[in-house]
């Protein structure tokens, strides 16, 4: 059933075609990339293609089934060439085992043609609905062992260039065009014909086994890569532990087929497969149900089938009942084979941390690409095909963008690349890092398409002639940008909330070396209310009273007060007594409590406190600390009091979470800022930042992450020479810094200063900084003993 996730490029979706034709809105299988094109033309001959390219003054885009997932087949105001009716077999030689086809033909149609001759395609992707032209444009790969990118099975192509020239290209003839057009996403011209290598159609027997991920690489190279009998192979990594795989191979056999069909029957309803995907993606423990119930059933027993059968899957088995609320999406990453174990844990960490609803991660293998300019297999690689479910709102897409850029960085960091047919989230820097020959690719495009006729969303994003063009948007328009303006008073009012990060931070720091009883619980309570009074004073004359926020601060302040009062009394009575029993030595539980305190602080710097899983820590406490050991009195006293604390906080957090979600909904995850003086490649190594717009006066509207990451992002930008004009539409912003107690401020109006209770040699100062002078303040606050604690992002 799973057969791994798939490579989807430009597939044919006839059921979509008619509606799209009428409205001239082009979309893809995910239904989240609608693009209004000028016109759609369905050529049936090369002459029609040439005439269209020569005759259309604006951009030309090329589409197959529009199953790429980021607008790779269209751009606004383009003439879209819908190639699906350009689908004839042009020539065939059984003896030479080759076939020449028009590029709009589907792989399925070729299979129907060659199957009676006992031939198969040498390389294609898992699903047969793709058009050949689309597959060539993205240079797909499949599950074939010892093979790799599709280009390896292409003998030649014919391509219509921007001036209407019809050119033959192969590894020996016009090789530059050949290696630029294949995997070139329609940038060089319209591939109209391709001559493909064929192979014998054999019977294959399925062999499948589950193993720890750690054993997979050895298994692959010992039993798969070196075995000439293996035709297909892939391995599915089971989410969400990502530590075991199901490795499935199809080996040549003389046994009679157990599957009656030579090709997969067409027009099946696939209700069983679709239901399974629904269970996996939506049910509680769907992933475990798949791993321990569905897959063992699917992979039971002997299965012998024809190679063409295994290569003729229909993408309709993946189609959800509805894409109105969510959609199934693909991504793919490539990593050199020797770095598999390095990449997978990073991928798993990102996917789990970002709570990605992963349905499957399929490992494929590919040998080195022979020379395409946008080669994704620059060496022998493992491909990781990620199939997941996401929501369709703008917030969902932004969230996907953040973790996608993290995954891209993980792949690049392992010497790999990411695949381009999917949502266009990666930055320019990431694109060039993953595709180091992109410069040569763009030079070739400039040579053969100097007018940039062949366009689509992918090249609009990365082709320098388009991507870096400044937009003449007046600054006054900024106020109309969605999410730009935020309430100015929030820069002050968020400070008490942040104190609930600073105080646990002090607490965690204290616990690393000191017993819990020495922490100034009651002094911290006083400081919280003191800070609250300070910001109240700072805002009450200037801004309308924000009832909702003040009530919220009162609720969290009261909780903080009660918690610290109880802990203060307990630790100074019972805690001190058990400390006395244990002398100077610390128990495992003391250390565990200190680690959790730090983990909690690290968590709440980014996420709301009530999202922290105290219940998980409770379980870890009982799993990871010994039941017996030195200082038994202190040990069990800590075990029990930490258990009580975690259990109570787990229940209380659940209550607050329910209330908060009901009252406020989810918070924004990004902040917009207007910046000047950005250096070239300003967002290098900045996956969480994004350029929203560039203006004629040199200003840039940047999307920045929020909260703690906002501070770090601002500090890095300032270090690169950036100057802020406005942040969230505001001209003043609150900054706190930790400085020596003797430090005096002459930077900006000082809102207040208070001592650090666990270190009286330092103090916290709060400065009211004009945004235009933020860089000065931050630069002055960089030095020995000075720490910019936070920049309050409204």
Q: What are phi and psi of 326, to 5 degrees?
A: -150, 165
Q: How far is the CB of 65 from other proteins (least distance, A)?
A: 33
Q: How far is the CB of 171 from other proteins (least distance, A)?
A: 45
661 binds other proteins (CB under 8 A): no
Nearer to other proteins, 462 or 612 (CB): 612
616 binds other proteins (CB under 8 A): yes
Q: How far is the CB of 354 from other proteins (least distance, A)?
A: 10
Those residues whose C-beta lies under 8 Å from the C-beta of residue 92, and which sit 6 or more positions away, are 98, 99, 100, 113, 114
Residue 441: other Cβ atoms inside 10 A: 22
Q: What are phi and psi of 219, to 5 degrees?
A: -60, -45
644 binds other proteins (CB under 8 A): yes
User: From the DSSP assignment, how many helices (H) and strands (E) are in the chain?
Assistant: 25, 27
Which region among 288-296, 430-438, 718-726, 776-784 touches other proteins (by CB under 8 A)?
A: 288-296
Q: What x/- string results for residues 339 through 368 when contact with other proteins is judged by CB under 8 A?
A: ---------x--xx--x-x-----------
651 binds other proteins (CB under 8 A): yes
Which conformational region is residue 537 in: left (phi greater than 0), alpha (psi within -120 to 50 degrees), or beta? alpha
Q: How far is the CB of 300 from other proteins (least distance, A)?
A: 18
263 binds other proteins (CB under 8 A): no
Q: How far is the CB of 622 from other proteins (least distance, A)?
A: 4
Q: Which of residues 14-53 bind other proteins (CB under 8 A)?
A: none
623 binds other proteins (CB under 8 A): yes
Q: Which residue of 84, 262, 287, 457 would you call a contact of other proteins, by CB under 8 A? A: 287
Nearer to other proteins, 124 or 641 (CB): 641
Nearer to other proteins, 94 or 619 (CB): 619
647 binds other proteins (CB under 8 A): yes
386 binds other proteins (CB under 8 A): no
Nearer to other proteins, 347 or 377 (CB): 347
Q: How far is the CB of 660 from other proteins (least distance, A)?
A: 15
Q: How far is the CB of 648 from other proteins (least distance, A)?
A: 4
Helix (H) or strand (E) holding 252: strand 244-252
Q: Which residue of 643, 745, 768, 782 would you call a contact of other proteins, by CB under 8 A? A: 643
241 binds other proteins (CB under 8 A): yes
Nearer to other proteins, 242 or 435 (CB): 242
User: Which class for 503: exposed (0-12), middle (13-18), buried (19 or more C-beta within 10 A)?
Assistant: buried
Q: Which residue of 221, 533, 554, 622 would you call a contact of other proteins, by CB under 8 A? A: 622
Q: Which residue of 270, 536, 652, 743 would you call a contact of other proteins, by CB under 8 A? A: 652
Contact by Cβ (8 Å): 721, 778 = no
Q: Which residue of 20, 120, 291, 736 would you call a contact of other proteins, by CB under 8 A? A: 291
Those residues whose C-beta lies under 8 Å from the C-beta of residue 516, and which sit 6 or more positions away, are 510, 567, 571, 575, 590, 593
What would the two tokens of residue 702 be?
């940047």
279 binds other proteins (CB under 8 A): no
Q: How far is the CB of 408 from other proteins (least distance, A)?
A: 21
768 binds other proteins (CB under 8 A): no
Which region among 266-274, 496-504, 620-628, 719-727 touches other proteins (by CB under 8 A)?
A: 620-628
Look up tokens 């909260």; give the residue: 707
284 binds other proteins (CB under 8 A): yes
Compute and round to an integer the Cα radius of gyration of the chain.
Answer: 30
292 binds other proteins (CB under 8 A): yes
211 binds other proteins (CB under 8 A): no
| 760 three-class SS | strand
Nearer to other proteins, 385 or 618 (CB): 618
Q: What share of the chain is helix, strand, coil (3-state, %, to 5)?
A: 45, 25, 35
Which region among 40-48, 56-64, 535-543, 646-654 touches other proteins (by CB under 8 A)?
A: 646-654
Pairing of β 244-252 and β 723-727:
unpaired
Which region among 17-25, 240-248, 338-346, 427-435 touches other proteins (by CB under 8 A)?
A: 240-248
What would the two tokens of residue 793 be?
């992002």
**Strand segments (E) across 307-379:** 326-336, 357-366
Q: How far is the CB of 652 from other proteins (least distance, A)?
A: 7
Which spans in 185-289 are helix H? 213-219, 271-282, 286-289
Nearer to other proteins, 357 or 699 (CB): 357
Contact by Cβ (8 Å): 204, 465 = no
What would the two tokens of residue 559 be?
């909780």
Nearer to other proteins, 2 or 444 (CB): 2
Contact by Cβ (8 Å): 87, 481 = no
Nearer to other proteins, 137 or 357 (CB): 357
Which spans in 207-304 are helix H? 213-219, 271-282, 286-289, 295-298
210 binds other proteins (CB under 8 A): no
Q: How far is the CB of 637 from other proteins (least distance, A)?
A: 12
Mind spelling out the 3-state secondary structure of 642-695?
Answer: HHHHHHHHHHHHHHHHHHHHHHHCCCCCEEEEEEECCCCCCCCCCCCCEEEEEC
Q: State how far the Cα of 26 lies from the Cα of 73, in Å rounded to an integer.
A: 8
Q: How far is the CB of 566 from other proteins (least distance, A)?
A: 11
558 binds other proteins (CB under 8 A): no
Look up tokens 């009651």; give the residue: 522
Nearer to other proteins, 614 or 707 (CB): 614
93 binds other proteins (CB under 8 A): no
Those residues whose C-beta lies under 8 Å from the C-beta of residue 404, and which sit 6 or more positions away, are 331, 423, 425, 426
| 486 three-class SS | coil
Length of the chain: 794
Look up tokens 């560039």; give the residue: 694
Q: How far is the CB of 621 from other proteins (least distance, A)?
A: 8
Q: How far is the CB of 240 from other proteins (least distance, A)?
A: 3
**Strand segments (E) across 139-184:** 154-160, 166-169
Pairing of β 79-82 and β 39-41:
parallel
Q: Which residue of 255, 261, 468, 619 would you call a contact of other proteins, by CB under 8 A? A: 619
Q: How far is the CB of 618 from other proteins (least distance, A)?
A: 8
| 377 three-class SS | coil
| 574 three-class SS | helix
User: Which class for 237: exposed (0-12), middle (13-18), buried (19 or more C-beta within 10 A)?
Assistant: buried
- Residues found near other proteins in the complex (CB under 8 A): 239-243, 284-285, 287-288, 291-292, 348, 351-352, 355, 357, 613, 615-616, 618-619, 622-623, 627, 640, 643-644, 647-648, 650-652, 654-655
């Amino acid at each position: 059933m799973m057969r791994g996730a798939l490579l989807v490029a430009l597939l044919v979706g006839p059921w979509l075609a008619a509606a799209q034709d009428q409205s001239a809105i082009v979309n893809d299988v995910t239904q989240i990339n609608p693009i209004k094109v000028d016109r759609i033309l369905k050529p049936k001959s090369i002459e029609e293609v040439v005439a269209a390219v020569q005759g259309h003054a604006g951009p030309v885009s090329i589409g197959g089934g529009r199953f790429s997932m980021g607008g790779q087949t269209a751009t606004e105001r383009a003439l879209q060439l819908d190639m699906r009716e350009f689908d004839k077999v042009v020539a065939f030689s059984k003896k030479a085992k080759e076939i020449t086809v028009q590029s709009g033909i589907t792989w399925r149609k070729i299979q129907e043609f060659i199957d009676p001759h006992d031939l198969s395609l040498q390389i294609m992707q898992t699903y047969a609905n793709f058009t050949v032209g689309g597959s060539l444009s993205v240079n797909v790969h499949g599950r074939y062992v010892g093979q790799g990118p599709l280009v390896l099975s292409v003998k030649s192509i014919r391509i219509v260039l921007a001036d209407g020239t019809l050119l033959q290209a192969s590894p020996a003839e016009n090789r530059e065009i050949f290696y630029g057009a294949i995997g070139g996403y329609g940038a060089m011209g319209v591939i109209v014909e391709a001559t493909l290598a064929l192979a014998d159609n054999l019977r294959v027997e399925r062999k499948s086994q589950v193993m720890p991920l750690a054993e997979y690489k050895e298994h692959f190279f010992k039993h798969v890569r070196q075995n000439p009998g293996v035709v297909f192979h892939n391995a599915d990594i089971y989410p969400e532990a990502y530590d075991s795989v199901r490795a499935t191979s199809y080996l040549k056999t003389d046994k009679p087929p157990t599957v009656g069909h030579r090709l997969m029957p067409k027009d099946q309803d696939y209700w069983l497969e679709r239901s399974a995907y629904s269970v996996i993606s939506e049910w509680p423990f769907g992933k475990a149900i798949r791993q321990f119930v569905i897959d063992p059933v699917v992979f039971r027993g002997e299965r012998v089938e024809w190679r063409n059968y295994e290569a003729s899957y229909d993408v309709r088995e993946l189609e959800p009942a509805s894409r109105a609320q969510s959609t199934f999406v693909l991504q793919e990453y490539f990593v050199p084979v020797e770095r598999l174990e390095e990449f997978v844990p990073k991928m798993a960490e990102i996917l789990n941390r970002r709570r990605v609803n992963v349905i499957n991660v399929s490992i494929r293998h590919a040998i080195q690409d022979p020379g395409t300019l946008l080669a994704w297999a620059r060496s022998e690689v493992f491909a990781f095909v990620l199939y997941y479910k996401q929501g369709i709102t703008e917030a969902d897409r932004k969230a996907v963008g953040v973790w996608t850029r993290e995954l891209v960085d993980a792949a690049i960091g392992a010497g790999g690349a990411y695949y381009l047919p999917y949502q266009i989230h990666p930055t320019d820097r990431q694109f060039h890092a993953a595709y180091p020959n992109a410069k040569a690719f763009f030079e070739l495009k400039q040579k053969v398409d100097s007018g940039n006729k062949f366009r689509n969303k992918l090249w609009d994003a990365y082709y320098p002639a388009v991507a870096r063009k400044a937009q003449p948007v007046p600054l006054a328009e900024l106020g109309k940008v969605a999410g730009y303006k935020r309430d100015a008073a929030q820069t002050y009012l968020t400070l008490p909330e942040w104190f609930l990060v600073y105080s646990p931070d002090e607490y965690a720091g204290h616990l690393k070396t000191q017993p819990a009883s020495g922490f100034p619980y009651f002094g911290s309570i006083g400081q919280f209310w003191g800070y609250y009074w300070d910001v109240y004073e700072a805002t009450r004359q200037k801004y309308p009273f924000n009832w909702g926020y003040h009530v919220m601060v009162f609720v969290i302040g009261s909780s903080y007060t009660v918690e610290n009062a109880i802990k203060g009394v307990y630790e100074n009575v019972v805690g001190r007594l058990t400390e006395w029993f244990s002398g100077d030595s610390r128990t495992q539980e003391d250390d565990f409590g200190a680690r959790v305190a730090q983990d909690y602080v690290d968590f709440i710097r980014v996420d709301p406190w009530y999202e922290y899983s105290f219940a998980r820590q409770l379980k870890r406490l009982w799993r990871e600390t010994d039941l017996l050991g030195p200082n038994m009195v202190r040990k069990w006293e800590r075990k029990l009091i930490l258990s009580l604390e975690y259990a109570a906080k787990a229940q209380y957090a659940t209550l607050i979470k329910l209330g908060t979600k009901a009252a406020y909904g989810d918070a924004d995850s990004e902040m917009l800022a207007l910046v000047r003086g950005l250096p070239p490649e300003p967002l290098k190594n900045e996956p969480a930042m994004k350029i929203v717009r560039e203006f004629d006066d040199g200003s840039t509207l940047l999307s920045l992450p929020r909260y703690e990451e906002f501070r770090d992002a601002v500090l890095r930008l300032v270090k690169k020479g950036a100057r802020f004009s406005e942040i969230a539409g505001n001209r003043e912003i609150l900054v706190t810094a930790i400085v020596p107690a003797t430090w005096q401020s002459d930077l900006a109006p000082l809102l207040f200063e208070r001592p650090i209770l666990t270190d009286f040699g330092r103090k916290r100062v709060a400065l009211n900084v004009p945004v235009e002078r933020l860089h000065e303040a931050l630069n002055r606050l960089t030095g020995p003993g000075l720490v910019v604690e936070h920049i309050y992002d409204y």
